[in-house]
Amino acid sequence: MDIYKISTIEELLADNTYPGRGIIIGKTPDGTKAMTAYFIMGRSANSRNRIFTEKNGEVFTEPFDAGKVQDPSLIIYAAVRQYENNLIVTNGNQTNTIYDGLKDGRCFTKALESREFEPDGPNFTPRISGMLTFEDGDFTYQMSILKSADAEGSACNRFTYKYAPLSGLGHFLHTYVCDGNPIPTFQGEPERIAVCDDIDEETNRLWNALNEQNRISLYVRYVDLKTGAAENRLVNKNK
């Protein structure tokens, strides 16, 4: 087993109909840009009734048809926010928890100590989070997963990973291993994944690798490490 193998998104998602929600953070092969991506998928009508919207550099999940919303508590949230030199990306309303924690002087890990997995038993969907911190013409990044310690949801296990970026390498964290009933929670460390220099190539490869029936929305952001300029792509299945 090659622990340093870097897989493509196609290899990691081949025949996987439901990895759930996913975050990718990495550095482009040419070393000039930081990248992050976030996608959502859905099986139920409530989960599929969503789109991404972008407002003032922040990204939100919103209902596509407001009249069909059944339970907004776990599906409507800010997914991407920035506080000072930190870009936050998560799969739930813990985006605001991290943002508020940073404002109050807490670090990424400490801010998340007040949260745990989602209360959606029997799946107990993990909360996954990422944060890029930009400084001195480069960046570092962290990823977190909060997941149930057992099938009953009686305790929360917390894992945080901190990375120095390497050109061409990203890390991919998603909520589920694959489809199932209940859906099996992601296991192990974030997966090592190849990233592209070109944001359009990256966006197309990610979107096309997601199961066509279950994919809902995708957001990709590239940040120029020299200038700080950001370039974004947003794809919604519901239009």
For the cut 80, the answer to whether the pLDDT of residue 198 exceeds it is: yes
pLDDT confidence bin for 18, thresholds 50/70/90: very high
- Banded model confidence at residue 233, pLDDT cuts 50, 70, 90: very high
pLDDT of residue 44: 87
pLDDT for residue 2: 87
Mean pLDDT, range 141-165, rounded to an integer: 98
Query: Which range, of 72-76, 149-153, 160-164, averages the lowest pLDDT?
Result: 72-76
pLDDT of residue 66: 84
The model's pTM:
0.97
Query: What does the pLDDT look like over 172-190, one tens digit per residue?
Result: 999 999 999 999 999 999 9
Q: What is the pLDDT of residue 69?
A: 80
Residue 229 has a pLDDT of 97
Encoded tokens for 111? 């801010």
pLDDT confidence of residue 177: 97
Mean pLDDT of 89-106: 98
**What does the pLDDT read at residue 231?**
98
pLDDT at residue 140 is higher than 90? yes
**pLDDT tens sequence across 49-81:** 999 999 999 999 999 988 888 877 778 899 999
The pLDDT mean for the chain works out to: 96
Read off the pLDDT band of 3 (50, 70, 90): confident
